Every structure is written in C-alpha cells, then in structure tokens.
C-alpha cells in the first residue's frame, strides 16, 4: 500500500501538532486539558487532509449518491489516522509528548445519526466506496440531536437528549454557497401556451437546506469523498418584533423553530415510525436538496443532456425513506428542465436503485394520501400519474379477466386504501431492487414482493451486507490486528480476503497462544469499561457471551434471558451441574415507544441484580447490561467477545451485521439459520459455528398450521421452562422494580409470537455443548481463528464491489 502521507515523519507531526495547539488556544500542548488536545488534533488532521485533495475524481467518473436518512459514522479521528496510514506514528508522537492517543480519542463524540444496522451499513459503505476509489457520496440529514442517550435507572431504560453538537463537530464544513430551497405545501398552477402546458408551484413554505460536508477518506488516503448532511433553516427572517417586544419570545421565534424542527431529531425507531408529518418533511427535504445539487453538478459538467443522466449518475435509495427520489427527480426534470414526462420517467428509473432492509410489515412505510398531497401537491400529481400508467401497463402482463389481476394490483399499486405505499413507489421507480442476505432476498421474492418478482424478475438481486473490517477489526481490536499483521503482513487491510492466509496458523500453537493473550487484553479493557459504566465486576476468566443489538421481540433477547435463568436455576437445584463460568453481556437500545422491548431491558437488569448479588452462583455466572450502545463502545465489546448470540426467530432478521463484526473478532456464533447467519455457517463450516432451532420454512409452516400453543410448551416442561415463565410474575425477580406481567402475557396470552418457548430447549442444549467445548482451549482458539480467516467475505469492500458491478455498472 502506498499511502498519501500528510506528515513527513514523527518529528514533523509533533512540531505541527504543537503549533496547532498554540494557534487554536494560545496555550502549549502540556497545559491543555484532554478535550482541547483532541480539538486541536482534529483540526490539524482535517485541515491537512483538505489541503492535499482539492478534487479526487475526474469529471467523467460515474458518481454514486447514497441517499440515507441515517449515517451512523462513529468517532472519526482514529479512522482517519488509520486510513492516512499514520496511526502508529501519531500514537508514538503523542506518547513522546507525554500523553496517549487513546486518551485523546476518548474525548471524541460519537454522532448518533442512525438507529442501528441500517445506519451503520451506510457508513461502512462510504468507507468502502472511498476504498474502491469510486466517486461515492453520502446524502443525509444533519440532525441537531442524535439518537437518545440511554441510561439505566432502577433497571429501566431512561432516554436523554443527545446534544452531540454542544462542543462543535470538528470534521464538518458548512457550505452556505451550496444551499438550496425546498418548498412545502402551496398550490400547483397549470400554465398553457401554444398548445404546450407546464406546471409551477406557488405559495406554501420555503425552507433553506444548508449542507454540511464531512470528508470520507479512503484507505491509503488517496481518495477523499464526502458525506453531505442537510440542515433546515428559515429562508426569510420573519422575526416577529412586536411579539418579542411584548415578551412573547416563543411567538417571536416561531418562524425559526417551525423550520428548524425538520432537522431537529432523528426518529428513534428502526422499524419505521409513520404518519408523522415531520418525518415526511425530513424525507422530502434531503431528497429534494440532494437531487437539486446532483442536477446542478451534472448540468455544470455535461450541460442539459438529461437523457443520459443515468449513464453518469446513480442515486441509491437506502430503504424506503428516500422513496420520493423517483417523483422528485421527475418533477425537477419535467418542471424545471423542460424534459418530457415519459423521458423523465425513463431517466429516473435508469438512475435510481433501491435496497430493502426488512420483511417486517409494520416497517414498510405508508402515508395517508391526504397528508402527502397537502404537503407535496405537485409530487402527488406525479405519483398519481405514474400509478395510473403503472396500472395500465399491467394490462400488458395480465388480462383483467385473470383471476389474480386485482390481487396483483392490490399488492403492487402505489396508491391503495387511501395511502401512498413507499415500498411500491421505490420498486416502480428503480431499475434494481435488492435484499441484504441470500435468505432475505429469497423471502422478498417468495412473499414480501412476490407479485413484483413475478412481473419483473430481472430487477431483483441479492447483495449480502458487509462491514468495514478496517474499523471493526483493525481499529476495534489493536492487539489482535497486530498479531494478524505480524503473521500475514498488512495486505488484509486493503484486501480482506487475505485473512484466509490465517488458515495455516490454526495449526500453530504459538499463534493460538498469542490470540488468547490478545483476547485476554481485550476482555480486560472491556471489563474495566463495564465496571465504570454499569458497576458490574466481570471475571476475565469467564467466557464472554455477548448479545448486542437493538431490542426487538424478533431478535429474542428474551430467549437469551431465559437461558441465563435456566443456568441459574440449575446451579441452585443441582450441586453436580457445573457450567463453564460465563459472563453474559447485553447492550442495546429500545425505541422510546416500544414498551415490550423496554420491559425486556428491565428484565435483564433485574436478572443481573439477582444473579450478581447471589454468592451461591457468583463464581459461575455474571450478567452485565452495558448502557448506551453506540459505535464507540460496540468496538470495545466486539473485540472482547467469545460467543456471538444471533438468535432471532428464523425468517425475521434481514441480515444482521453484528454477526459479521463478532466473527471477524474471533467470536463463535451461536445462532439460528437466519439472515446472514446462513452464509456465515456455510463459510466457516458446521464445526466452527453452533446452529440451533427452527428453520425459516419450519417457522412459517408452524405459524400457518395454527397449531402452536405456548401452554403446551409450558406444560411439557414445568420444571425448567415452566419455572422460568412463573418467575416472571411470582416475585422472584421483582426486587429491583417489580414483576413482568406484560412479558408473561406476551408469551402466554399472545401465544409466544416469536417462538421463544419453542426454541428454548434446542437453544439451551446448543449453549451447553458450545460452552462445554471451551475446556479444550486449543480447539476453541482454532475454531475462533477460522472465523476470522473466513470473515474476508463479509468486508463491505466486497459488498460494494458487487453493487458496482451489478447495480451501478461502474
Ligand atoms: N434494523 C435489518 O433489520 C440489517 C440492517 C442493514 C435492518 C438488519 O437485519 O442488517 O437493516 N433493517 O441491512 C432496517 O433498519 C429496516 C436494521 O438495521
């Protein structure tokens, strides 16, 4: 790898850093608090980075714009240093100055501009697009407040505002000159002249969208792309002086607060939150602002050659949140550039592609037609017209006498039942529709989008997710990364498939010992963090068994808790039962409005309270809930994990990506055949993963049969399973904050919708077997190493190369 170096050497760096401290604060490095040392360093790196890259791509390079309402970018300093190839040198330099890079990195904010997997995927894709050298840009929202900060009080999740911009964000650059105007509401006016007619929009509210750019440095430092985040600001200063003078400050500032509300907050739900006007405004704002900018750049480079837009530009829509890209692109082309309607539709479709991320019906966005039309009247006209033409075109595929005509229409039309269906809008306006794992794509074809699949099979394809191995292995796990590099060289940073070169080391006892030592160091680092943040003492001799992800019923954190309680009960009941000592580590947020998920968090904390305070079991099991799961602490957790819990009910998890991050860090997966677990299991082989439970088709068949009864499961095993169900309500876990009636009802009244009780025995047995195998540490380490060796496939570099080849045609 030849790096584009931004400092000559360590000495050069130290000199420039000292100057930067003086220039910014007028105070020498030694006298600055850690936080100011961070800001001075960040400013230095940002300025140096900017200075050497005026323009990274030639004009005619095909551009990809990745539209996403979420970019969970994580802390950036360490990432930039790695990608510029100067992390070790900078760390050395700072050490020679009497401080440490680690401590300076700890000062950085972790911008919570996403909920979970979908937002983090978008960030990994930016990293990989820059690595692959393409002109790939992010287009998203600059939320004033990120996803809430989670605190645990009395076992409960408490949410507090994430004021991430409080001290300023050193990596962003405000670009006033690139602001654009976006209109909401008003009327559509039809004009006619010489038999030609066109439409304009008038009235309504005009909002100024102001972009903030964050540089995305590709590994090697030779390509710098950008993430553009939009902020909503008032277009005119309609400050109400009279109201102000009368002391009514709220009314005086109303013009400003109404507009700024659009970019105030990220909706804290990863399974969709619809019907909210503000959310629709957010979606339109970043779609319209992004597309206006794209057309401006295109016209500058290629003139008004709109017919060929799709040859030079790709607009990729991440889930249905940017679904308005289709009609908005048409509106801009037809109304503002004078392009004919049919051609505009063709161009939009050639330009746009779409990824679906879920099979959960409640997450497929829909808007009431009345809301949509009132807010976006011209866009609605276009949607209506495209929908009408779509219905007509169905006649080419089916005859109205066909039995399934209305069925197909009812599933695929954009407008239905008084609603605008965003998934159908996305599919109709895209040339490519993809799922995010092999199983998920199959489910899209077989059921969720089956009717579309029958109509346009060639439009559907799979792109199995990936993660940035540079962040989630190299940056997250320094001791292990170093060991790997010493063994196989550093080529794996550039090409993750080189991790395969680790396979021969599975026979190398000294390598395996080194691996164990690295894992030990990671476990100690995590244990210190857990102690500090949750007060729980973790014993590093225990197996670290980890489930970290959003809280959702289908992900079945509840099943995991049931297992923990079962192990607890067995230790107490049977003096001969001696499980492998294990620390159960949980982390993740629940949407504020998702009561069940929040109850599961309270349950985990109650179980932790009971177990951690029970001296009879303390040397065998411990439970920790790590508060406020975010990219930064995720990196500490993944690296220290030994067991990766991926236990969603089969058919529900589109892909999952923590499964990939954990396997990369040599954790062994304990999972169902769901999402990307299927592909992980194929790659590592059955001896290096523990699979249990019903398969997706069995889940479907069992549900369809109508013959699943939670009470049968309960009655069939009163001693173990039944006992745990009883503990939810009999006071056994109530000490901290009461019983768990609603969880009991979810299982026994709602009939266990996620089949927790059904998979319980298979799961516990799988866990017993897996942890039983830990005694043979050499064999365990060998299997763990095999997981890292096979993880190259799950680098987002591979995923992006597939998008480039099959969808973006680059
Ligand atoms: N919640 C899926 O549920 C997938 C990511 C990224 C999710 C998850 O299985 O790995 O997307 N879906 O593709 C949505 O957010 C809608 C997620 O993060």
**Cα distances (angstroms) measured from residue 356 to each of 198, 326, 338, 437, 647:** 34, 16, 32, 11, 21
Size (the chain), residues: 810
pLDDT, averaged across the chain: 95
Judge if the beta carbon of residue 377 lies within 6 A of ligand 1. Answer: no
Between the CA of 13 and the centroid of ligand 1 the distance, in Å, is 41
Residue (of 682, 677, 680, 671) closest to 643 by Cα position: 671
- CA dihedral (265, 268, 270, 271) in degrees, to 10, reads -110
Atom 12 of ligand 1 has which residue's CA nearest to it?
357
DSSP letter for 29, please.
G
Q: 275: CA distance to ligand 1 center in Å?
A: 21
Res 245 pLDDT > 90: no
661 belongs to the catalytic site: yes
764 lines ligand 1 (CB under 6 A): no
Tell me how far the alpha carbon of residue 465 lies from the centroid of ligand 1, in angstroms.
10
Catalytic-labelled residue, pool 331, 552, 555, 602: 555
The pLDDT value given to residue 269:
76
281 labelled catalytic? no
Question: HSE of 753 in the Cβ direction (CA atoms, 13 Å)?
Answer: 11
Contact present, 397 and 320 (Cβ < 8 Å) = no
Judge contact between 799 and 463, C-beta under 8 A: yes
| Known catalytic membership, residue 279 | no
pLDDT digits over 112-163, tens only?
999 999 999 999 999 999 999 999 999 999 999 999 999 999 999 999 999 9
- Check: CB of residue 74 under 8 Å from CB of residue 110: yes
514-530 pLDDT per residue, tens: 999 999 999 999 999 99
Query: Tokens at residue 179, please?
Result: 């602001």
Predicted pLDDT at 272? 58
pLDDT value for 531: 98
Per residue in 248-283, pLDDT tens? 888 888 888 889 999 999 987 766 555 588 999 999
Instruction: Give residue 421's pLDDT band: very low, low, confident or very high (50, 70, 90).
Output: very high
pLDDT at 397 over 80: no
CA of 465, closest atom in ligand 1? 13
Q: Is 290 in the pocket of ligand 1 (CB under 6 A)?
A: no
pLDDT digits (tens, 9 = 90+) for 277-327: 899 999 999 999 999 999 999 999 999 999 999 999 999 999 999 999 999
Q: What would the pLDDT profile of 473-516 be if each residue is shown by its tens digit? A: 999 999 999 999 999 999 999 999 999 999 999 999 999 999 99
Report the C-alpha gap between 794 and 790 in whole angstroms.
Answer: 8
pLDDT value of residue 1: 64
- Alpha-carbon distance of 387 to 413, in angstroms, equals 7
Neighbours of 168 (CB within 10 A): 10
Stretch 554-574: mean pLDDT: 98
State the Rg of the chain over Cα: 27
> From the candidates 120, 331, 549, 798, which is the catalytic residue?
549
Residue 620 Cβ < 6 Å to ligand 1: no
Contact in structure between 211 and 178 (CB atoms under 8 Å): yes
Q: Where are the beta strands (DSSP E) in 142-204?
A: 146-153, 156-162, 173-174, 180-184, 187-193, 196-202
- Which residue's alpha carbon is nearest to atom 14 within ligand 1? 357
Q: Pick the residue whose CA is nearest to atom 18 on ligand 1.
A: 117
What percentage of the chain carries pLDDT values higher than 70?
98
The residue nearest atom 11 of ligand 1, judged by CA position, is 118
- pLDDT in the model for residue 556: 98
549 contacts: CB under 8 Å, gap ≥ 6: 116, 117, 555, 588, 629, 656, 658
Q: What is the number of other CB atoms lying within 10 angstroms of the CB of residue 471?
A: 25
Is 563 a residue of the active site?
A: no
Q: Determine the pLDDT at residue 281.
A: 97
Kindly give the distance from the C-alpha atom of residue 358 to the centroid of ligand 1, in angstroms, as a whole number. 6
Cα–Cα distance, 739 to 752 (Å, whole number):
18
Cβ–Cβ contacts within 10 Å for residue 556, how many? 26
Lowest mean pLDDT across 93-97, 266-270, 638-642, 714-718: 266-270
Helix (H) or strand (E) holding 139: strand 135-141
DSSP H/E element including 586: strand 582-587
Is the minimum distance from the CB of 659 to ligand 1 under 6 angstroms?
Answer: no
Q: Which residues pair with 327 in a beta bridge?
A: none
CB of 588 shorter than 6 A to ligand 1: no
**Which stretches of 669-733 are DSSP H helices?**
677-684, 696-705, 710-716, 723-727
Closest CA to 663 of 695, 639, 685: 639
Distance 574 CA to ligand 1 centre (A): 41
Higher pLDDT, 36 or 244: 36
Q: Which atom of ligand 1 is nearest to the CA of 119?
A: 18
The answer to whether the CB of 116 is under 6 A from ligand 1 is yes
**CA angle, 765 as apex, 713 and 674 as ends, to 5°?**
80
Active site residue 357: yes
Q: What are phi and psi of 738, to 5 degrees?
A: 100, 175
Mean pLDDT over 37-62 rounds to 87
Q: How far is the CA of 118 from the centre of ligand 1 (A)?
A: 5
pLDDT-derived band at 221 (thresholds 50, 70, 90) equals: confident
pLDDT in tens, 346-384: 999 999 999 999 999 888 899 999 999 999 999 999 999
Q: Does residue 648 have its Cβ closer than 6 Å to ligand 1?
A: no
Burial class (CB in 10 A: 0-12, 13-18, 19+), 161: exposed
Q: Are 645 and 768 in contact (CB under 8 A)?
A: no
List of residues 6+ apart from 79 with CB closer than 8 A: 127, 217, 470, 471, 475
Contact indicator for 479, 521 with CB cutoff of 8 Å:
yes
Q: Is the CB of 78 under 6 A from ligand 1?
A: no
Query: Residue 25 above 70 pLDDT?
Result: yes
How far is CA 530 from each of CA 353, 371, 525, 537, 617, rounded to the nearest angstrom?
Answer: 42, 46, 9, 7, 20
pTM equals 0.97
Token digits of residue 298? 């295109």
Q: Using one digit for the tens of pLDDT, what is the confidence trace for 676-712?
A: 999 999 999 999 999 999 999 999 999 999 999 999 9
d(C-alpha 273, C-alpha 362), whole Å = 9
Query: How far, in whole angstroms, is CA 493 from its chain's centroid?
Result: 22
3-state class (DSSP) for residue 345: helix
Mean of pLDDT values over 174-187: 97
SS3 letters across 764-784: HHHHHHHHHHHHCHHHHHHHH
Please give the pLDDT value at position 463. Answer: 98
Q: Are 480 and 462 in contact (CB under 8 A)?
A: no
Cα 791 from chain centre: 19
Which is it for strands 415-416 and 419-421: parallel, antiparallel or unpaired? Answer: antiparallel
Is 523 one of the annotated active-site residues of the chain?
Answer: no
Helix or strand (DSSP H, E) at 242: helix 241-245
Q: Return the ∠ at Cα 96 (arms to 94 and 100), rounded to 5°.
A: 40
Our mutation pick for probing the ligand 1 site, out of 122, 270, 317, counting the most ligand atoms within 8 A of Cβ, is 270
**How does DSSP classify residue 227?**
E
């Amino acid at each position: 790898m030849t790096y584009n170096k931004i400092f000559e050497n360590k000495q050069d760096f130290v000199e420039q850093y000292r100057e930067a401290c003086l220039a910014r604060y007028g105070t020498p490095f030694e006298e600055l608090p850690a936080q100011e040392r961070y800001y001075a360093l960040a400013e230095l790196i940002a300025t140096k980075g900017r200075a050497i890259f005026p323009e990274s791509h030639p004009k005619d390079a095909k551009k990809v714009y990745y539209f996403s309402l979420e970019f969970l970018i994580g802390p950036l300093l360490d990432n930039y240093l790695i990608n510029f190839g100067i992390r070790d040198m900078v760390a050395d330099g700072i050490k020679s100055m009497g401080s440490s890079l680690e401590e300076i990195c700890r000062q950085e904010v972790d911008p919570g501009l996403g909920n979970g997997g979908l937002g983090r995927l978008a960030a990994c894709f930016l990293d990989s697009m820059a690595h692959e050298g393409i002109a790939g840009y992010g287009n998203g929202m600059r939320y004033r407040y990120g996803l809430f900060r989670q605190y645990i009080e009395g076992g409960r999740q408490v949410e507090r505002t994430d004021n991430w911009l409080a001290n300023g964000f050193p990596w962003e650059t405000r670009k006033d000159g690139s602001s654009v105007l976006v209109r909401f509401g008003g009327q559509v006016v039809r004009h006619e002249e010489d038999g030609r007619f066109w439409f304009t929009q008038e009235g309504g509210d005009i909002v100024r969208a102001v972009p903030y750019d964050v540089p995305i440095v590709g590994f090697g430092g030779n390509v710098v792309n950008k993430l553009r985040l939009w902020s909503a600001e008032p277009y005119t200063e309609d400050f109400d002086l009279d109201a102000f003078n009368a002391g009514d400050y709220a009314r005086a500032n109303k013009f400003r607060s109404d507009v700024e509300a659009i970019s105030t907050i990220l909706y804290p739900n990863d399974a969709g939150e619809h019907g909210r006007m503000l959310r629709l405004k957010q979606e339109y704002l970043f779609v319209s602002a992004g597309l206006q900018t794209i057309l401006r750049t295109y016209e500058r480079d290629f003139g008004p050659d709109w017919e060929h837009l799709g040859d030079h530009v790709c607009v990729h829509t991440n889930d249905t949140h940017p679904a308005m890209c289709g009609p908005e692109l048409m509106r801009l082309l037809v109304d503002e550039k004078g392009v004919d309607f049919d051609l505009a539709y063709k161009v939009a479709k050639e330009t746009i592609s779409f990824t679906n991320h879920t099979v959960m019906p409640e997450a497929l966005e829909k808007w009431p037609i009345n809301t949509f039309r009132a807010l976006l009247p011209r866009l609605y006209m276009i949607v209506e017209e495209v929908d009408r033409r779509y219905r007509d075109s169905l006649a080419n595929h089916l005859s109205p006498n066909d039995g399934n005509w209305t069925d197909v229409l009812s599933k695929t039309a954009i407008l239905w039942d008084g609603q605008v269906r965003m998934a159908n809008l996305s599919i109709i306006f895209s040339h490519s529709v993809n799922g995010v794992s092999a199983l998920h794509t199959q489910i899209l074809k077989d059921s969720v989008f089956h009717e579309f699949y029958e109509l346009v099979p060639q439009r559907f394809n799979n792109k199995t997710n990936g993660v940035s191995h540079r962040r989630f292995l190299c940056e997250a796990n320094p001791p292990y990364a170093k060991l790997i590099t010493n063994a196989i060289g550093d080529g794996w940073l550039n090409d993750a498939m080189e991790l395969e070169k680790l396979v021969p080391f599975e026979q190398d006892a000294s390598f395996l010992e080194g691996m164990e030592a690295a894992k030990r160091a990671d476990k100690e680092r995590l244990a210190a963090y857990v102690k500090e943040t949750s007060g729980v003492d973790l014993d590093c001799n225990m197996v670290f068994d980890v489930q970290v992800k959003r809280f959702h019923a289908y992900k079945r954190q509840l099943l995991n808790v049931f297992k923990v309680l079962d192990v607890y009960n067995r230790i107490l009941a049977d003096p001969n039962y001696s499980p492998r000592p294990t620390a159960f580590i949980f982390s993740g947020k629940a949407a504020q409005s998702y009561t069940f998920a929040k109850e599961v968090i309270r349950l985990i904390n109650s179980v932790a309270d009971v177990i951690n305070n029970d001296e009879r079991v303390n040397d065998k099991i411990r439970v920790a809930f790590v508060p406020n799961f975010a990219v930064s602490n995720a990196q500490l957790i993944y690296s220290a994990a030994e067991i990766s819990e991926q236990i969603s009910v089969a058919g529900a998890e589109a892909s999952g990506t923590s499964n990939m991050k954990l396997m990369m860090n040599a954790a062994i997966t304990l999972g169902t055949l769901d999402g990307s677990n299927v592909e992980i299991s194929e790659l590592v082989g059955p001896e290096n993963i523990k699979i249990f439970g019903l398969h997706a088709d069995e889940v479907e068949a069992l549900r369809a049969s109508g013959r699943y009864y939670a009470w049968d499961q309960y009655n069939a095993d009163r001693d173990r399973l039944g006992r745990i169900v009883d503990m939810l309500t009999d006071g056994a876990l109530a000490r901290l904050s009461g019983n768990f009636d609603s969880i009991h009802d979810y299982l026994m009244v709602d009939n266990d919708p996620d089949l927790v009780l059904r998979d319980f025995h298979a799961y516990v047995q799988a866990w017993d077997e897996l942890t039983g195998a830990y005694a043979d540490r050499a064999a365990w380490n060998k299997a763990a190493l095999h997981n890292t060796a096979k993880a190259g496939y799950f680098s987002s570099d591979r995923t992006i190369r597939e998008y480039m080849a099959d969808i973006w045609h680059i």
